[in-house]
Amino acid sequence: MEPINTEMKKILITGGAGFIGSHVVRLFVNKYPECEIYNFDKLTYAGNLENLKDVESKPNYHFIKGDIVDADFVLALFKEHQFEAVIHLAAESHVDRSISHPLEFVMTNVIGTVNLLNAARAIWNCSKDRPVPTGKRFYHVSTDEVYGSLGADGIFTEQTSYDPHSPYSASKAASDHFVRAYHDTYNLPCVISNCSNNYGPNHFPEKLIPLCIYNIKNRKPLPIYGKGENVRDWLYVEDHARAIDIIFHKAANGSTYNVGGHNEWTNIEVIRLLCRIMDRKLGRLEGENEKLITFVKDRAGHDLRYAIDSTKLQQDLGWKPSLQFEEGLEKTVDWYLANEEWLHHVTSGQYQQYYTNQYVNR
């Protein structure tokens, strides 16, 4: 199927220095040399320009340091550059941080999203009195966590009602609602996708998989919340980036797509698999790493199970995941073991000193 939106050449990607954003930026910069890709990122603790070393000198890549919460800055930026499309990934993304600092999640995930919607609406001149503008797109990247928690059965479809439980998922749910409201109220050309848990290179080691890779490497305890029985549906990050590319170019305005790997694992199964892979890779005795597993106090409001039905994306737009979990996890471990410097920089905070001085706030 040919892309329906090939005319969008000036694309703003928010949160492009983060985990998923950096894979999306790399894909777009390399695959679409005719497009100008603007990476707009505040460089919070989660933003790391080292993730983009391989594309930073490409002529179609541009970096803008800024905060999506700053409405004046965002509007001025849109007026100056006249972006034709936005792929919005900037967010506070860690559930545990949302439990300790919920307001930061409201600011970035809700207010920041509304600021971007307002700026897009202003420069594209969107209103219910006018037809939806052609050649424009606001793509909001969201999470399956907005759907809440499943029991032993069931699966999230695009029709599942929202039922968020953590401040993180509540803030993402609110942002999704605003995006749909701007589509319905102002004819803003919007698309949303809701994806399951990602894993892969450049994942910040506060999340389960990279944290445990780091801890296994350093023979530190592996903290498993509760009994480790919570289930997540894991997707390799490059498969998500490919899905974003396809949805960005082919989805109809106003549509929603679920993205997921049909790949459910309990947390304890994931960590046992990781331990076995790393016993082998690090030349340790079989079972040695499993001894590091430590059960700790459960997360408050911990969602039991996520499972996503991505049939619509597979059938309508022809996407499917490319990697089996074992294969993806092995690739991920190889990446972390080969990129000791990256891991050292993020765990020591050095990455922020290296890069932030190169860019001034506009």
At its nearest, how many Å lie between ligand TYD and the CB of residue 106? 18
Nearer Cβ to ligand TYD (150/246): 150
Q: Does 139 bind ligand NAD (CB under 6 A)?
A: no
Under a CB-based contact definition with an 8 Å cutoff, are residues 177 and 112 in contact?
Answer: no
Q: Does 172 bind ligand NAD (CB under 6 A)?
A: yes
SS3 call for 219: coil
Known catalytic residue at 168: yes
At its nearest, how many Å lie between ligand TYD and the CB of residue 118? 28
Under a CB-based contact definition with an 8 Å cutoff, are residues 243 and 259 in contact?
Answer: yes
Cα–Cα distance between 161 and 24 in angstroms, integer?
28
Cα–Cα distance between 345 and 178 in angstroms, integer?
36
Closest CA to 26 of 34, 37, 11: 37
Cα–Cα distance between 141 and 198 in angstroms, integer?
13
List 5, 98, 108, 115, residue binding ligand NAD (CB under 6 A): 108
List 198, 230, 256, 310, residue binding ligand NAD (CB under 6 A): 198
Cα–Cα distance between 287 and 276 in angstroms, integer?
7
Question: Which listed range, 72-80, 175-183, 224-232, 345-353, lies at the site for ligand TYD (CB under 6 A)?
Answer: 224-232
Q: Does 278 bind ligand TYD (CB under 6 A)?
A: no
Known catalytic residue at 264: no
At its nearest, how many Å lie between ligand NAD and the CB of residue 333? 18
Known catalytic residue at 145: yes
Q: Is 154 left (phi over 0), alpha (psi -120 to 50) or beta?
A: left
Nearer Cβ to ligand NAD (60/352): 352
Q: Does 197 bind ligand TYD (CB under 6 A)?
A: yes
Q: Does 42 bind ligand TYD (CB under 6 A)?
A: no
Please list every residue from 239 through 298 that binds ligand NAD, using CB under 6 A.
none
Cα–Cα distance between 333 and 286 in angstroms, integer?
17
Taking CB within 5 to 8 Å according to partner kind, which of ligand TYD, ligand NAD, none is near residue 42?
ligand NAD
Q: Is 296 exposed, middle or buried (0-12, 13-18, 19+ CB in 10 A)?
A: exposed
Give the DSSP per-residue string, 75-140: HHHHHHH--SEEEE------HHHHHH-HHHHIIIIIIIHHHHHHHHHHHHT--TTSPPPTT-EEEE
Nearer Cβ to ligand NAD (146/188): 146
Taking CB within 5 to 8 Å according to partner kind, which of ligand TYD, ligand NAD, none is near residue 110?
none
* Binding mask of the shown chain, residues 111 to 150, with x at each position contacting ligand TYD by CB under 6 A: ----------------------------------------
Q: Does 223 bind ligand TYD (CB under 6 A)?
A: yes
In order of 122, 156, 268, 306, 307, the CA distances from 151 in angstroms are: 43, 11, 17, 9, 10
Cα–Cα distance between 220 and 155 in angstroms, integer?
35
Where do we find the tokens 């074992």?
Answer: 326
Taking CB within 5 to 8 Å according to partner kind, which of ligand TYD, ligand NAD, none is near residue 149?
none
Task: Please report, as ranges, the residues that interact with ligand TYD according to CB under 6 A.
Answer: 95, 197, 207-208, 211, 223-225, 230, 232, 267, 299
Contacting residues toward ligand NAD, per CB under 6 A: 14-15, 17-21, 41-44, 46-47, 67-69, 89-93, 108, 112, 141, 143, 172, 195, 197-198, 204
